[in-house]
Amino acid sequence: MKTIKHVIISVLTLAMSLPVVAQEQYLHIYKGGGREKSYVLSSIDSMLIDETANGSFMDLYNKSYRHRVGNLAEISEFKVGGVVLPSGIYMGVLGFNSQLYNKEIGSLSSSTKSSYTSFVNNLTSSNGTLLYYGVENALDALKNAEVPEDLINVTLVTFTDGLDQGSFMMQSKYEDNDAYLSALNNRIKSEKVQNIPINAYSIGLRGNDVSDVAQFQKNLQYLASKNNNAVEVSNISEVNAKFQEIANQVYNESFTSTVGLTIPGQSNGTKIRFTFDNVSDATNSTMYIEGTFRLSDRALTDVTYHGLSCSSGATIIGQQDGIFVTFSFEEVKSLTSRTISASYIDQWSYVASSGKWQINSEFTPENNTTMEVSPKSALIMLVLDCSSSLGSQFSTAKSNANNFISTLAGYGNDEKFSAIDIMTYDDIDIFTTLEKDEMVFVKGGTFLMGAQSADASAPNYDSEAWSEESPVHSVTLSDYYIGKYEVTQQLWEYVMKYSGPCADGSTMSAYATDVWLGTNPSSSNGVGNYYPAYYVSWNDIVDIFIPRLNKITGKTFRLPTEAEWEYAARGGNKSKGYKYSGSNTIDDVAWYTGNSSDKTHEVGTKAPNELGIYDMSGNVWEWCSDWFSISYYSSSPTTNPTGPTSTFTWDFYRVRRGGGRYDSASDCRVTYRGCSAPGYRNFSYGFRLVLFTNPTIGGDNLLDEMNKFLRSHRVTDIQKNI
């Protein structure tokens, strides 16, 4: 039987008697000689000593939270004091052409963002490409940076459009470019910052003046820490998408979780699997912990981690309470783009006689899981090509860099980082003054994408499926927002005609007198505020409309990927498996050749799907961001796929989905894949938007955990006194 003693430990009493100073005071707790965590001293009302059969555990307590620090026997020292850097995002920016332009590494947050974006805005293009010299200086900056002790991620991102020119002239120790490049590659792969390896990305947009393609591609490979981190893109808009992907990954890797999982005791030798990705079959999981139950000491042995990292090792000793056993996993971190969430955890036992995994249907997040999320620090260096070969694309490149900075700033060190707002999933408006521009939250998850007509007993069978809709394959997506409606004529005209201040403090002029870049909407095809925008090409949307929208709002809108489109059309995690988006009866949900009178109709006049999204079947085709390939499903990544980098046999075709007002019912199925040239306009082609947003973070203690992290302060050291 356990007892709880409500104790105000003397170190706290002593600390409270210190003279009042302007700086915030913190309680630092050390385990094994190293500082474990620090807490805002004024936020702690008292400490709790929770005595159990397994030892005495120390908790911190106030009106808002009770946080378990750990076993009292493991705590080596208490201190109040020490000047430390606050946890959060630290960033530097380096531009290069014939010289270097450096924004020194500092704390990045919403309150400091403007100093970074102003630096980028002031960069100018010029002849010269000191690519290697720029990367070398960025590596030096990372190595010498002053960063918090809880650093968990070090990232180097390099963007270039050309070959190096003259870097070896800046360093006498290298005789030629190859020697210089090899030395950089060795540094990238071997050097560490506070024992954290450097995760280096390279993004290349090959300029027209690049004659040695092999050298350009070699540069990308050697300036990345692994092959998958080297990406050659085909246009400047893809640079922005890659920046956002990297920002997302940095964010996910900047948290660790302590996860407690409670299950009934098992027979000796039973294989146990905990899946973290909300799958319907344990064999489909890409994020799981697996081990074998040892009855003698209630342990999980031969533990392996898949899609996750964890510091707890291969043997986890469980804590027994009656018939239940709790396993605690320390410093669990996602190695994918998915964030760890308690609501997505399931427990399975392997049944040897059937060769199948059996889910524990009584395992629930409320009763069987505990999760404490700890934010850590990240260090990022962004290296930007400022050579004149970028031409008119240089301004877009700077805008992409500022989008990257703005996204990371949302995770920074100010109030938003130290007390993150738990996301609410209500619809959000793009502009409060407009109608039918709401965005719907789509909770990420895993689903089977595509359809097949070969086997009626296999998943996603559809007798109408085409070969390019297969193979059926598992896809896992992160959270996102998607348009509740197709983009309307009102929203299109508002953005294209907008003249006034923008979110970054600049001003914008109307795009043109006639904002419709092709043929204007007409009564014969459907015209009015709430009719969908149509006769717009992929290029019109990506190169003109979306950059204007993002600059006006300060947000990061984009087209959906093909996978995001299909997942939302199916109803996301609320999917009922309908053939069309929201129903098996097409007339309920779609305007198509059978009922449209060959014209578009106001958005939202048919029934919505399971997520409350309208017109994902019919009305107008909807452009997606991906290139189209018939065979892409055979090699698609399982997590957040963005389409092929090469268009294979369908050169220069982009994906469009959903069918339109004069298409057959078959074309309006949620799995049907269409494609067209990105410059093509049609009276039945429109689009809807996706909004990039902070990934969801699971765990009820996140807000409390974040609030405990420290800011710069100065107080006198005090030793433990218990």
Q: Which CATH class, in words, describes the domain spanning 255-374? A: mainly beta
DSSP label at 667? G
Round to whole Å and give the CA distance between 535 and 178: 50
Domain topology for 428-488+559-691: paralog of FGE (formylglycine-generating enzyme) (3.90.1580)
Phi and psi, residue 448, nearest 5°:
-95, 115
Q: What is the pLDDT of residues 496-551, one digit of tens each?
A: 999 888 887 888 999 977 889 888 899 999 999 999 999 999 999 999 999 999 99
Do domains 89-253+376-412 and 255-374 share one topology? The answer is: no
- CA angle, 543 then 547 then 553, to 5°: 160
For the stretch 528-554, what's the b/e string if a residue is b when 16 or more beta carbons lie within 10 angstroms of its beta carbon? eebbbbbbbbbbbbbebbbbbbbbbee
The pLDDT value recorded for residue 706 is 27
Reported for 54-62, long-range contacts at CB under 8 A and 24+ positions apart, including other chains, are: 54/319, 61/6
Round to whole Å and give the CA distance between 413 and 112: 9
The pLDDT value recorded for residue 411 is 56
Domain boundaries, the chain: 3-85+701-707, 89-253+376-412, 255-374, 428-488+559-691
Round to whole Å and give the CA distance between 319 and 336: 29
Which among 237, 331, 320, 265 has a CA at the least distance from the CA of 546?
Answer: 237
Task: Name the pTM for this structure.
Answer: 0.47
The pLDDT value recorded for residue 269 is 96
The pLDDT value recorded for residue 415 is 32
Q: Please tell me the chain's helix, strand, coil percentages from 3-state DSSP, rounded to the nearest 5.
A: 25, 30, 45
Going through 654-701 in order, the beta strands assigned E by DSSP cover: 654-657, 673-676, 685-686, 690-691
Architecture of domain 89-253+376-412: 3-Layer(aba) Sandwich (3.40)
Which among 690, 433, 396, 666 has a CA at the least distance from the CA of 551?
Answer: 396
**Distance from first CA to last CA of the chain, Å, rounded?**
24
Round to whole Å and give the CA distance between 280 and 213: 46
Q: At what angle do helices 213-222 and 177-190 cross, to 10 degrees?
A: 30
Residue 664's Cβ-count burial label (10 Å; 0-12, 13-18, 19+) is middle
The pLDDT value recorded for residue 82 is 44
**3-class state of residue 72 by DSSP:** helix
Q: At what angle do helices 394-409 and 546-553 cross, to 10 degrees?
A: 40
Which residues have C-beta within 8 Å of that of residue 140, sequence separation ≥ 6? none
Q: At what angle do helices 546-553 and 489-497 cross, to 10 degrees?
A: 70
Residue ranges, the chain, pLDDT below 70: 1-68, 70, 72-73, 75-85, 337-339, 410-428, 432, 646-651, 692-722
Which residues have C-beta within 8 Å of that of residue 173, sequence separation ≥ 6? none
